[in-house]
């Protein structure tokens, strides 16, 4: 068994990474990328980017490292991943500070995200030792029919900006647990958190070329990764248009693809729910990370009899949220990631109001600190055809609509191209389960909005993509099945 590395740098002295990580080295001969703090427009970090030559060298290194890593004892791979998890936990405060500085979310939420990233490595450390095959009963004496799972190969991974530590961790941990090598392209707005994961891999003794994190021109890097025949798997968390593009390009070489794309999660409140509790819980779930969460509850369907009480509770909880920069520990909600999201929020509210919606709270851009701020917004009387009910808002807007018939609410919930997550709030577990069974989504939360766990499969259906991250299913995504038929000599 390979010895693991017990010597982690002092968390108080470890510097935030400011270079790409490739071939087991820190580099980047391209221009430096200025990372913007969305709270005030200041420079949060400066990171060295890679050149096309360096991307080519990284592809060579990942392909070269594959044979050795895939043949590494699963117990040794497990220990490497466990050590990476320990490094992340040892440096949780520093990594969370980087997340807050470049993404904007409150520090407490950033700390929770980084802890979740460590959980991914811990969980996959166990799964590395449990990638099971099977023996099929054979038809003849002396025969054996064997089925085994093997690493798919070199992986190209693309991650977005809303969870810059957790989402790359899901991909890195599962791919390396399965015996694959991986090249990660983080979002250019938030590269530092993924580079911290590279530091964890380095500190854990994961061999050179197994984990690579490239910062730089997205079009150039993605084109080179997708165009290289040695990359056999592509995994993306992102938008539906980007997912369609990735899938089209990957299809040219028949690469395996996993896509976790947009969502527009319905929340169905049942008539036996406590409307005060439901409104408060729904508001907390909605405005986490300023609503920039793929599984954020984004359409609220409430029985007419409970509507006014639910709205009153929701609005009160919303207006109790303190808005401010993420490093202010008294704040609950931070800025949006960029100017594009700010403009999108203004458009969604204006469109809804023109279609008859009522703004119960918020609804406006906030001019402060040169950052991208938008009030947490609650809308009622929302028309089903208005844009915020059709398109993923991906921001702090909560449309609430009353319903009189549960079948109608389920129909509305399913009347979308998205199918990532859905939520049911109610008192009767059996009724909640019945509604959960009817929702056309990949995940359902019953009386709970915190459903993303390392041990559970995460993913959607329809235009929300396919494939899963997390759980045993997440590691299986990075394997291929080989069948061996053994006959006696």
Q: Just list the catalytic residues.
A: 260, 294
Q: Whole-angstrom Cα distance, residue 15 to residue 29?
A: 20
| Residue environment code for 39-66, b if the CB has 16+ CB neighbours within 10 A, otherwise e | beeeebbebbbbbeebbebbbebbbebb
Phi, psi of 299 (to 5 degrees): -140, 120
Q: Which DSSP helix (H) or strand (E) runs through 267?
A: strand 265-269
Q: Which residues of 12-35 are buried (b: 16+ CB within 10 A; e: fewer)?
A: eebebbbbbbbbbebbbebeebeb
Cα(187)–Cα(104) distance, rounded to whole angstroms?
A: 14
* Nearest to 159, CA basis, from 135, 129, 183, 180: 183
Q: Residues in the chain, how many? A: 489
Strands of 133-229, DSSP E: 134-136, 144-151, 154-158, 181-185, 211-213
DSSP string, 269-316: E-TTS-HHHHHHHHHHHHTGGGG--TT-EEEEEEEHHHHHHHHHHHHH
The pair of three-digit structure tokens given for residue 338, joined into one six-digit string? 């960029």
CA 478/CA 437 separation, integer angstroms: 28
3-class state of residue 37 by DSSP: coil
The answer to whether 177 and 475 are in contact (CB under 8 A) is: yes
Give SS3 for 72: coil
- Assigned token pair, 58: 């990284």
Q: How far, in Å, CA of 485 to CA of 237, rounded?
A: 38
CA distance 171 to 158: 9
Nearest Cα neighbor of 392 from 299, 287, 260 is: 299
> Residue 421 and residue 88: Cα distance in Å, rounded?
28
Number of Cβ within 10 Å of residue 305's Cβ equals: 12
């Amino acid at each position: 068994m390979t010895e693991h590395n017990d010597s982690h740098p002092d968390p108080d002295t470890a510097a935030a990474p400011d270079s790409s990580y490739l071939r087991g080295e820190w580099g980047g001969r391209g221009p430096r990328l200025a990372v913007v703090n969305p709270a005030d427009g200041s420079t949060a970090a400066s990171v060295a980017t890679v050149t096309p030559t360096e991307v080519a060298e990284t592809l060579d290194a990942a392909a070269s490292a594959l044979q050795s890593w895939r043949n590494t004892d699963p117990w040794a791979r497990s220990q490497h991943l466990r050590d990476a998890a320990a490094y992340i936990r040892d440096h949780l405060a520093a990594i969370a500070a980087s997340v807050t500085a470049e993404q904007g979310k409150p520090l407490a939420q950033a700390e929770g995200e980084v802890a979740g990233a460590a959980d991914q490595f811990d969980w996959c450390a166990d799964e590395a030792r449990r990638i099971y095959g099977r023996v099929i009963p054979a038809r003849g004496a002396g025969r054996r029919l064997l089925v085994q799972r093997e690493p798919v190969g070199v992986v190209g991974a693309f991650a977005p900006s809303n969870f810059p530590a957790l989402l790359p961790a899901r991909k890195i941990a599962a791919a390396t647990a399965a015996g694959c090598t991986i090249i990660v392209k983080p979002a250019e707005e938030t590269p530092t958190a993924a580079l911290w994961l590279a530091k964890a891999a380095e500190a854990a003794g994961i061999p050179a070329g197994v984990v690579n994190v490239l910062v730089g021109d997205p079009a150039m890097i993605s084109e080179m990764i997708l165009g290289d025949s040695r990359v056999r798997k592509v995994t993306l968390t992102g938008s539906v248009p980007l997912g369609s593009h990735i899938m089209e390009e990957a299809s040219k070489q028949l690469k395996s693809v996993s896509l976790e794309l947009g969502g527009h999660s319905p929340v169905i409140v049942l008539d036996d729910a406590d409307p005060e509790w439901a409104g408060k819980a729904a508001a907390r779930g909605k405005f986490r990370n300023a609503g920039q969460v793929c599984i954020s509850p984004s359409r609220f369907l409430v029985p007419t009899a409970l509507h006014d009480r639910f709205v009153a509770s929701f609005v009160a909880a919303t207006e109790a949220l303190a808005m401010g920069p993420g490093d202010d520990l008294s704040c609950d909600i931070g800025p949006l990631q960029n100017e594009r999201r700010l403009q999108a929020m203004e458009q969604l509210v204006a469109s809804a109001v023109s279609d008859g919606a009522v703004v119960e709270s918020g609804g406006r851009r906030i001019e402060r600190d040169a950052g991208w701020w938008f009030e947490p917004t609650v809308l009622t009387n929302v028309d089903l055809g208005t844009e915020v009910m059709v398109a993923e808002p991906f921001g702090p807007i909560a449309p609430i609509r009353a319903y009189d018939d549960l079948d109608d609410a389920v129909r509305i919930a399913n009347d979308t191209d998205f199918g990532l997550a859905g939520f049911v709030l109610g008192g009767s577990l059996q009724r909640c389960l019945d509604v959960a069974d009817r929702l056309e989504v990949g995940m359902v939360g019953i009386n709970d909005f915190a459903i993303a766990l390392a041990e559970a499969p995460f993913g959607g259906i329809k235009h929300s993509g396919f494939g899963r991250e997390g759980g045993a299913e997440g590691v299986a995504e990075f394997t291929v099945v080989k069948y061996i038929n053994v006959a006696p000599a």
